[in-house]
Amino acid sequence: MRGASAHLQVLCAVQLRCDTDPLPLSQLERALLARVAVGTGAAATIDALVPWIWGDDRPSSARNRVQALVSGLRRKCDRPLLETTKVGYRLADGVSCDLASWRALVGADPDLSPQQRWRALDTALTVFAEEPLQNIPPTGDVRLAQDALRAERLAVLEERGDLALRLGELRGLTTALTGLVQEHPFHETFIAQLMRALAATGRQEEALRVYRDTYRRLNDELGVGPSEVLRAAHHDVLHGTPSHGNRSHGNPSHATALAAAPVDEPETLVAPKLPVPRMLPRNPSNFVGRDADVDRIRHAATGARRAPTVVHLTGTTGVGKSALAIRCGRLVQDSFPDGTLYADLGNREEAPAPAEVLGSFLRLLGLRGDAIPDDLVARVGLFRSILEQRRVLIVLDNVAEMSAQVASALELMVPVTAGSMAIVTSRTVHQELPDALPIRLRSLQIGDATDLLSAMLGEQRVAADPDGAIALLDATGRLPLAIRLVAGRLVNRPDRGFPDMARRLVAPSHRDRDPLDKLRESVRMVWERRSPAQQDAIALLARLPVTGFSAWLPGALLGDEDAGDELLETLLATNLIEPVTSDDGMTLYRLHDLVTHVARAARPLTDADVTDATMRIGRALLRRATACHLAFHRRLVPAPPALDDEEARPVGALAAADFFRTDGAALLTVADALAGRAPDLAWRLVLSAANAQHTFGGHRSWLGVATRVRAALSAPSADQQLGRALLQLAEAWHREDLRSQSLRALLLAEAARKALTLLGEADTAAAADIVAARAAVSLGRRTTAERALDRAESLLRQHPDATYAGWACAIRGLLHNDYDELDAAEQELTRAREILADDGDRIAYAAATIELARVTWRQHKLGSVNVLLSEVISLLQHYDEQHLLSYALDARSEMSYQLGRDEQALHEADVVWRRAVDSADDFLAARVRRTRARALAALDRLDDAEADLRASIEECTALDRPLSVAAAMHDLSSVLSRQGKHVAAAELLRQERAARASAELACREEFDEAYGREVGDDAGPVRR
């Protein structure tokens, strides 16, 4: 994640933002940042972080886990987030924090005037308006910190209230204090402030009633009387004496009579208090998920004290809008002491009738029927006047499809002044609902959907068939109502399995017993309101092989960009599709499963129709992918030749990367679908994704599609022969660069080179020779590598290409380094960087830089090594090239070892090893074991070092990497010698010489010149 600024929030849900975008963090990463932030300027030590993050359930390797969390955070943002001090960690200088802002405002200059101090505190309370330290593990240390922060906030609220009374800043004060008293019914300072604020606005009777209610509550629940603070406020209100410079208004004699009545006697002078209306339906059972949405609604309820608030929940049928509205209504209704009003508008097509709804609300708020005016304008005015003095929650459920008319009707029924809040639910979105907070509900995440199914059918039944449960949940579209309906059928049928029920949901022959029939009918109602052209387009989208699509795809499908945008807006407004945002911020859209079923049934299409639509999408994908080729930072695999005359618009580097992250999976899916029907288009699509396939679907998905498409290229035509050869080239590079499968890569590259030469494709034949040379170097076959490089360079003299020339130099430099020809290696690698510096393949440039760093530390130029590694790590982080970044981090761990920083080297090597295992890079995992073993040996952990080196030898042998085997054997012989196992050490040195000879490298006695610091040696003075 790139960012020019970073802001950490801990006074609410813990969140880190880079620029304006929230950074996706794990719960433990959020906890670590929160502890660093609450440290009041001091660095957070590891001893303090461990109990904060894990409490009493700390892992055995907690210190390493903390360091791994710090490393993970540093990878996620390319600006510094944490600084390491001598004792721990602190926030970097460029990271702002809401807690620091809060304390700066609260601790402002003590010489401020009361007015300035009140404004500072008022601003501070907008910063700290929610529960602090949410969504991190609630360990004991976290709970203590939450209590301390709450106490800080309460103290500021007390001071702000006193200042407001003193300055006469009474607007909204009684509403705010009423809410605080509701939250803290025994906080006598707030109660006293509320009494004074009521009296200052002429409401002495209410102030005295507050006192009497508090008197009873203290006596009944705590067995104590009011404090001096509360008695003083009572005295001031009772006698109308000035309070903080403000004189009370009203009828003192009436107030005196009221207050003089004994506490145990009824208040005969005040009308009986009507019951507070609480109209919400029963709380939904087995409510799961929606944590983020619940938090947003609760936060909105907090903000209602300052401004009128409307929350608009939208989503497709059955997604759980009503359940969420009711659930949240019950969670926040205590913040609205004057009532909760609810109206079910029944999803009627016509606009709701405000007069009827308002009449019901007014009666519930205490008005007699004859006091409610018939005129709608007067009724709205009366309703708004009542809400002006009250705090009420209004829930308007099941609004029909939104329109300007419906939005106008709703405007008459929602609050327009601070203190109250409305929650509106509807199937569709409309921009004319004023100042509403829109929350679009999506299908449940698979974990939440499984929890709901387990809650209704029992965990045992779901755990017995997890795959069947997932298939069933997918068939329901993971809609909460659909899951409930299906579970209702299954609860009495323990004999019916999940796969069988899933088939019944999808198979048309079972529609007469379909538990989702009512849901489908609701979707059909929305479908039928769409135009015939829109229905045709939706039916095509429902039959495309892709599961998600980009915003441009409907326009490509319709052949009209404007029509595509209009269709997308309609589908979003009616919630027939939902946006799906990935962790890296890319947005795709997907049809709800119920919509797909309804569209397929309502608009059946022929296979020819579907193939034609798929080919239109395929051609559009190919044009975009081809346009991205020269802007993408990987370019070794060539762009496919054009299939039509239409030219694609050039794009920038950022747009190219975004395209592949967003549309790469669709590109492969379409290619797979077209392999048998349009192989010429299919192989071009696969090839166009070859350089970028690591950014979206993973290596296995690209390789599987490439294999199937290549198998479909069986015709003898020149085009299909070219396709087969280019896919062989792409697969060879894939296996060598990303999978460490060098022998297979060499065979594929040589076959591709022969075919491309016969086809007269000289430049791509050069690319095949470059891949073959890289694989041969990995296998220790010097002669083969040099022959391939000579051929490539000969071809490039006739057909110059900067990318391939740069790669050729980089691989020749790698070859020289492997065979200890350091000056020649430095010359070739430096030349590669010069060729690629301006606008070449950035991965070739990075690979050359990593190898040059290895060469320079072997030449003892350690200052240059640090510069090179810093440059390449920054470059790879910028392009999010995690695979090659692991190799750069491996080089850095080697550098740490050479400098004698053995603990640091061990930690860095552990991080690289985990990354290698996660990415299935067997060679890197074997290679970094050797670095880790050298650090372990330096720390006198000889048994651990021996185990790592033996594993490295075994793994490198299996990968046919003789030079790496020889290096690990040399280190293992040193470890065994230190253990006193001299016979075994001598045998390993003999095997090492044999391994080096097999790689055409003469034996050399002075291994320290080749590998720098010998195992077991102290780090000596560095030669520069």
Percent of the chain with pLDDT over 90: 25
**Average per-residue pLDDT in the chain?**
83
Q: Model-level pTM?
A: 0.61
pLDDT class for 833, splitting at 50, 70, 90? very high
For residue 993, pLDDT beyond 70: yes
pLDDT category at 585 given cuts 50, 70, 90 is: low
Residue linked to tokens 């350091």: 822
Q: How confident is the model at residue 271 (pLDDT cuts 50, 70, 90)?
A: very low
507: pLDDT strictly greater than 70: no
Q: Let me know: does 415 contact 199? Beta carbons within 8 Å.
A: no
| CATH of segment(s) 518-604 | 1.10.10.10
Give the DSSP H or E segment for 675. none
- 3 state DSSP class of 634: coil
User: Can you read off the two tokens belonging to residue 573?
Assistant: 């407004």
**How confident is residue 646, by pLDDT bands cut at 50, 70 and 90?**
low
- pLDDT per residue over 529-565, tens digit each? 778 888 888 888 888 887 788 888 888 888 888 888 8
Render the burial of 989-1018: b for 16+ CB within 10 Å, e for the rest.
Answer: bebbbebbeebebeeeeebeeebbbebbee
Task: Using alpha carbons, select from 326, 274, 304, 303 the residue that is nearest to residue 387.
Answer: 304
* pLDDT for residue 732 is more than 80: yes
Contact (CB, 8 A) for 576 and 314: no
Separation CA 300–CA 392 (nearest Å): 14
Q: Which of 64-78, 282-296, 420-434, 438-452 has the lowest mean pLDDT?
A: 420-434
The answer to whether the CB of 782 falls within 8 A of the CB of 815 is yes
Contact 419, 390 (CB under 8 A): yes
How high is the pLDDT of residue 632?
A: 79
Identify the band that residue 59 occupies on the pLDDT scale cut at 50, 70 and 90: confident
Q: What's the CA gap between 242 and 251, in Å, rounded?
A: 15
How far apart, in whole angstroms, are the C-alpha atoms of residue 56 and residue 69? 19
Residue 212 has pLDDT above 80, yes or no: yes
* Cα–Cα distance, 675 to 411 (Å, whole number): 55
pLDDT mean over 981-989: 88
User: Which residues are CB-neighbours of 55 under 8 A, at least 6 positions away?
Assistant: 137, 139, 140, 141
Highest mean predicted confidence (pLDDT) among 45-49, 270-274, 806-810: 806-810
Q: Are 866 and 853 in contact (CB under 8 A)?
A: no
Q: What fold is seen in the domain 291-440?
A: Rossmann fold (3.40.50)
pLDDT for res 1002: 47
Looking at per-residue confidence, does 676 or 1004 come out higher?
Answer: 676
Q: Give pLDDT tens digits for 410-426.
A: 888 888 888 899 999 98
d(CA 523, CA 504): 19
Answer for the pair 924, 738: CB distance below 8 angstroms, yes or no: no
From the list 925, 932, 868, the residue with the least C-alpha distance to 894 is 932
The DSSP call for residue 647 is: P
> Among 572, 482, 471, which residue's Cα sits nearest to residue 519?
482
Q: What is the DSSP letter of 577?
A: E
Asked if pLDDT for residue 252 goes beyond 50, the answer is no
**Does residue 39 register a pLDDT over 80?**
no
CA angle (692 as vertex; 691, 694 as ends), nearest 5: 115
Give the single-character DSSP code of 271: P
pLDDT at 407 over 80: no
Is residue 405 within 8 A of residue 386, CB to CB? The reply is no
CA angle 952, 954, 960 (to 5 degrees): 100
Inter-helix orientation angle 188-200/204-217, to 10° = 160
The sign of the torsion formed by the CA atoms of 671, 676, 677, 683 equals positive
Q: Per-residue confidence at 132, pLDDT binned at 50, 70, 90?
A: very high
Identical fold for domains 291-440 and 518-604, yes or no, is: no
Which SS3 state, helix, strand or coil, does residue 374 take?
coil
Rounded Cα distance between 129 and 547, Å, is 41
Nearest CA to 230 out of 249, 211, 251 is that of 211
The CA-atom distances, in angstroms, between 364 and each of 333, 344, 580 are 16, 15, 42
Question: Which sequence spans correspond to the domains of the chain?
Answer: 1-169, 183-239, 291-440, 446-507, 518-604
671: how many CB neighbours lie within 10 A of its CB? Answer: 29
Query: Where is 205: in which H helix or E strand?
Result: helix 204-217
Rounded Cα gap, residues 657 and 652, in angstroms: 9
What is the model's pLDDT at position 508?
52
Q: Which of 754, 739, 743, 618 is nearest to 687 (CA)?
A: 618
Please give the average per-residue pLDDT across 769-789, as a whole number.
92
Q: pLDDT tier at 4 (50, 70, 90 boundaries)?
A: low
Question: Where is average pLDDT lowest: 204-218, 368-382, 686-700?
Answer: 686-700
> So what's the pLDDT on residue 191?
92
pLDDT digit string (tens) for 332-373?
998 898 889 998 887 666 666 888 888 888 888 877 777 788
Residue 111 pLDDT > 50:
yes
Which residues are CB-neighbours of 942 under 8 A, at least 6 positions away? 936, 975, 978, 979
421-426 and 393-399 strand pairing: parallel
Flag whether pLDDT at 1000 surpasses 90: no
Most confident of 184-188, 605-609, 849-853, 895-899: 849-853
* CB burial string 147-168: b at 16+ within 10 A, e below: eebeebbbebbbebbbbbbebe
Class of CATH domain 1-169 = mainly alpha
Of 893, 807, 909, the C-alpha closest to 854 is 893
Strand segments, DSSP code E, in 88-170 are: 88-91, 95-97
Query: What pLDDT is attached to residue 203?
Result: 83
612 φ, ψ (degrees, to nearest 5): -60, -45
Residue with the larger pLDDT of the pair 349 and 727? 727
pLDDT digits (tens, 9 = 90+) for 685-704: 999 988 887 777 655 688 88
| 428 close to 440: Cβ distance less than 8 angstroms | no
Tell me the two tokens of residue 710: 């290549």
Place of tokens 């949410």: 134
Contact between residue 815 and residue 777 where contact means Cβ atoms under 8 Å apart: yes
pLDDT at 250: 35
- Residue that wins the pLDDT comparison between 263 and 159: 159
Using an 8 Å Cβ cutoff, are 87 and 43 in contact? yes
At 500, the amino acid letter reads D
Q: Is 716 helix (H, G, I), strand (E, B) or coil?
A: coil
* pLDDT higher at 222 or 851: 851
At residue 33, the pLDDT reads 93
